[in-house]
Structure formats: C-alpha cells, structure tokens
Structure 1
C-alpha cells in the first residue's frame, strides 16, 4: 500500500494493531504469569510448559520463548536457519523501499509526535463526520469475511475453527464500540507509535534482511510491547487476558498430553486446547516442534523446477505459524 501522507502511515499502524491483537490472542492463549522464571527448555509437566510460555510471551521475551518451546538441538537449528536464504523471498521494489524509509523518517523525526498529530487531528474529525455511523456496519462486514475465511480454511481443524470464530465474535463487538476517532486516544497512540518506531531504530528495509535471530527477537519484543500499550488505550488489555488463563490436563499417557486452556477475552470466557509431547523428560508443544522441524526440512530442500505443479511449499520463516499455540517469529524481508 502506498503511504501518500503521514496520516495514512498512522492509520496503517492502528490497523496493524487490531490485526496483530487478533492473531496474538488466537496464538498465545496460555497461563497466568506467577512471577519471574528462568528460561529452560520445556517444562517438568504439560501445565508448567504452557505456563512458562505465556509468561515469556506476556513480557515480550520471544527469544526466551523459543528457547523454552524447543529442545536444545532444535533451538540451535532455529537460530542457525535464521540467516539462510529464503527461496520464497520476494525482491524489494524501489517503491516499497521508498515507502518504508519515508514512514520511518516521519515516525522518528525529532518533532514526530507534534507533526503526526497535527495531520491526524483534522483527518480524524473528517472521518468521524463521514464514517462514524458506518463503522459498526463495516466491522460487521469484516467479521463475516473473517468468519468465512476461518470456516473455509484447510489448515485448521474443526475445533480450531470453532475457537477462532469465538475469538472473532468477541473482538468484533468490541471494535464496533471503540471510539476510534477520539482525539485524546489518538494522540496517545501517535505517541506510542513514535516511541515504538524510535526504539525499533530501523531506517531501511535492508536492516530487516540483515538481522540475526537475537536482533530480530529484540525488535519483535519492542513492537509487541508497543502494540500492547496502544490496545490498552482503546480498552483491550492483553495482560488481562494472559492473567486470566488457566490450564488443566485432560489426558496424559505414553509421553503425550492433551490440555485445555481456559481464558477470558474482554470479560468473555473462552477456551482452546493443545497437545504436548515429552522428550528427554521435558514437555513441549507437539505442533510447535513438528512445524519447526518441517520448516527446517523445507528450507534445506532443493528448489523445485520452475512450473512444477507438485512442488512442496517453502517455509516463509523458520518456526511457521502455529494456530493457538505460539507466536510466529518474524520472517526475514
């Protein structure tokens, strides 16, 4: 999308917050953080494994999350794979590069907060006059589109589809009542966006491509914490959701466990489920482990001949997205 003005850059950031929240809530429903914990691989029990996962996610420690979520050998592989070339990477266009550089310059300028809000303020007034009554309808349409996409997904089980739909059905009514055009809230979000951009300290998209695993995880942490702050401005506290989660083991035998994860989202009780596997006496998410290993194998596979109909898809990043179980590490761009 071309960012033709400062306003659209801010609007894009706010839109990203909403989308990222839905994804984060769907992927990180685990357990209450009971206090500081050392980062260790896996958990002594299935419940402990899930508990530490959410504790690390809550504070934005994504490097710690992956160290905990994977056996040591797989974690080392994840780190080593990070700098490998991605066969499915799309070349950066001059337009994309110019947009990125311009947006970061606008967000990190010495007087960025003042300038951005000066541009956003009249735009918000205009948008409120034009679209205030239409926002609930528009969000309702997006809700229907999202629900249809979930129901038609070939990557989700029936249970996962049900759980994802429940999350959508909670987020949509909230979004319909949020005062998106409120001047005071917008000013706070602009300040958060600027502070987050400065902390990210990214001037060019080439910096993204050059980042190693540790640097990328640090940047993800900065972005995630900024998202949490901005969403709180509009009444959605991710920490409240993390703190509400309770884990119970449904079944555990022969090194396999099935757990139920109950949590509240905006005061509404929801639940999800997860399978864990025991390796070397430690418990790990079965889907996380399987997906990371499959992503590694795809990364090492030779490229398919051009036009090959049956070629396997390549991984967009090491540690492919895991539905309702783990955050996705940032793909190199």
Structure 2
C-alpha cells in the first residue's frame, strides 16, 4: 500500500483496531506515589486525559525499569509504551507520511479517490476488523485472561462506533487531515530513526500534543476519548499484602466497559501487573527485531 494511502487508512481505521507539538500539553505537577491500588489506575487515566504520554510512562513502571526502557529505546530494541497501543509499528511511518511536504494535498486527493463516500466499504472494514481481532484475542498473543476479557469488549465497542461513524464524509476529512499534518510536523519525529535518536522521554513529550490533536479529530467523528477517560471509575475488589484486584468501569462510544485489573506494590508504589509484565519483556529484548516483534503478537489492520 503506498505511504499516503497507508496514512489515510491509519487515520480512518486506527480507532477500530484492538487497544487498550514540541512540548508537554500541561505543566508538570509534583509527583505523588499512589497510596491505594485504585490510584495506580486513575493516575494513568489522568495522564492519558492530559495527553501526557511521558508522564504515563513514568507512572506505569518503577524508576529503574523506566531507565532500562529508555536505554532499550535509544538502542532500537523497543518503543514501549507505544507497543501497548494498536498499530504501534506503523506510527513512525504514519508521522513521516503526514509530515511530508505537500502531504495535506496528497492525502486529501487519496482520500477523495478511495474513501470519500465509501460508507458501506468502511462499515464493512470495521466489522471485519472486529471479527478477526476478537478471534485473535481469544486464542493468540501474549495477553492475560484479564486483558483478553477487557480487549474483546473494547473491540466490540469500537467496531460499533466504526460502523456508525461518518468516516466517508469528505467535508470532515478536509478539516481533519490538515490538522493532523500540522501536528505531525510539530513533533519533529518524521524521518528514519528519529524516534530512536530522540529517546523515549523526549519522543513521548513530542507525541503528547499530536495525541491530543488526534483525539480532537476522532471527536469530530463521534468518538470522544476524553469523555471515556472522564467516565472511568476504579473500585477495589480485594487486597492481600502487596497484591490487589481492581474493577475498572467506563463508557466508550456509548458502550459500558467493565474489566478487572491485577495491581501490585513495588517499593511502596502500586503498578498494573500486566503493564509491568509487558514493559519488563520489552526492556529485556536483545535485538533490533524486538521493535517489530510486539506488532507481530497483536492483530493488525
């Protein structure tokens, strides 16, 4: 698929895949370690709500592991925490395609030729992605049982949104594409090896405003991720020593989502066990192939 068509496809379909500027979007605040298991969850949600991807990475893992991940990022062995997101392997190419000279005109031309008015085809694509992603989640990949149960619900909600969203509306595309082009250029991350050269901390800081702009674009298509973050409720199910179980409830695209999360305490701070497990595997990766490996373990579009 040519790069401009791939960027258009990512713009239209990234939100239906399976999931979970140059500065920070918000001023830094004093760090406080979560005193309760539920606060480990709400802290990460607050980071995403504020477009603070660097803060998310800092709060998701202990400091020593964070330092190992920064080293692995600069050595080209990982792009964690981006590996926790759908289409993580395509993000650098997506940014580069959006930031290319004349990208706004080229992408709009491609959109008008291949996607404008193709409501039925796009709805079918959303349904097909949901089917394959659900089948994959139920039997493949390095997911815990809790993750599988959570992500299947996410896929269903996003598929319903994708089958109703006006993704083939050319007028919306004429507004959305230039916004993303400008935001991509402001990251300074377009081009080969720019993510690795910038390092994890700086790359995530630069991606924060782009993430915020992407959320605004999705809101224009009826998917309000900030409203989903605002709806999050985390309640303690049980706690035994340094281990706890938390119930997560929120509303995404009009659908109620409920999941259970394992949380554990390390050095006085609470962390989500599955995020720790994935991060430790990423930090231990020993070859450049590890950057692409997480994508091979997840459904793709």
TM-score where L is the length of structure 1 = 0.71
Q: Is the 8 A contact 1:139 1:176 kept in 2?
A: yes
How far did 1:265 drift?
0.8
Alignment partner of 1:276 out of 244, 263, 287 = 263
- Distance of aligned partners of 1:121 and 1:263 in 2 relative to their CA distance in 1, 3 Å threshold: closer
Q: Is the 8 A contact 2:48 2:56 kept in 1?
A: yes
- Distance of aligned partners of 1:99 and 1:43 in 2 relative to their CA distance in 1, 3 Å threshold: closer
- Distance of aligned partners of 1:157 and 1:183 in 2 relative to their CA distance in 1, 3 Å threshold: same
Alpha-carbon distance in 2 for matches of 1:279, 1:122: 52
Q: Is the 8 A contact 2:149 2:259 kept in 1?
A: no
Alignment partner of 1:221 out of 201, 208, 215 = 208
Query: Quick check: which has more Rg, 1 or 2?
Result: 1
Superposed counterparts of 1:135-146, under 5 Å: 135-146=122-133
How far did 1:189 drift?
0.9
Alpha-carbon distance in 1 for matches of 2:94, 2:231: 40
Pick 1 or 2: higher relative contact order, CA cutoff 8 A, min separation 6. Answer: 2
- Distance of aligned partners of 1:105 and 1:292 in 2 relative to their CA distance in 1, 3 Å threshold: closer
Structure 1 SS opposite 2:12: helix
Alpha-carbon distance in 2 for matches of 1:316, 1:122: 33
Q: Is the 8 A contact 1:57 1:65 kept in 2?
A: yes
Alignment partner of 1:266 out of 250, 253, 259 = 253
Q: Is the 8 A contact 2:108 2:177 kept in 1?
A: no
Superposed counterparts of 1:113-128, under 5 Å: 113=104, 115-116=105-106, 119=109, 122-123=112-113, 127-128=116-117
Structure 1 SS opposite 2:193: helix
Q: Which runs of 5+ in 1 are unaligned?
A: 28-34, 88-96, 304-312, 324-333
- Distance of aligned partners of 1:2 and 1:40 in 2 relative to their CA distance in 1, 3 Å threshold: same
- How much is the aligned-residue C-alpha RMSD, in angstroms? 3.5
- Distance of aligned partners of 1:233 and 1:46 in 2 relative to their CA distance in 1, 3 Å threshold: same
Count of aligned pairs: 278
How far did 1:229 drift?
1.4
- Match status 1:44 vs 2:35: yes
Structure 2 SS opposite 1:205: coil
Alpha-carbon distance in 2 for matches of 1:285, 1:212: 24
Structure 2 SS opposite 1:86: coil
Alpha-carbon distance in 2 for matches of 1:2, 1:184: 23
- Distance of aligned partners of 1:99 and 1:257 in 2 relative to their CA distance in 1, 3 Å threshold: closer
Q: Is the 8 A contact 1:244 1:263 kept in 2?
A: yes
Q: Is the 8 A contact 2:49 2:226 kept in 1?
A: yes
Alignment partner of 1:155 out of 142, 161, 168 = 142
Alignment partner of 1:104 out of 84, 99, 106 = 99
- Match status 1:14 vs 2:11: yes
- Distance of aligned partners of 1:267 and 1:37 in 2 relative to their CA distance in 1, 3 Å threshold: farther
TM-score where L is the length of structure 2 = 0.78
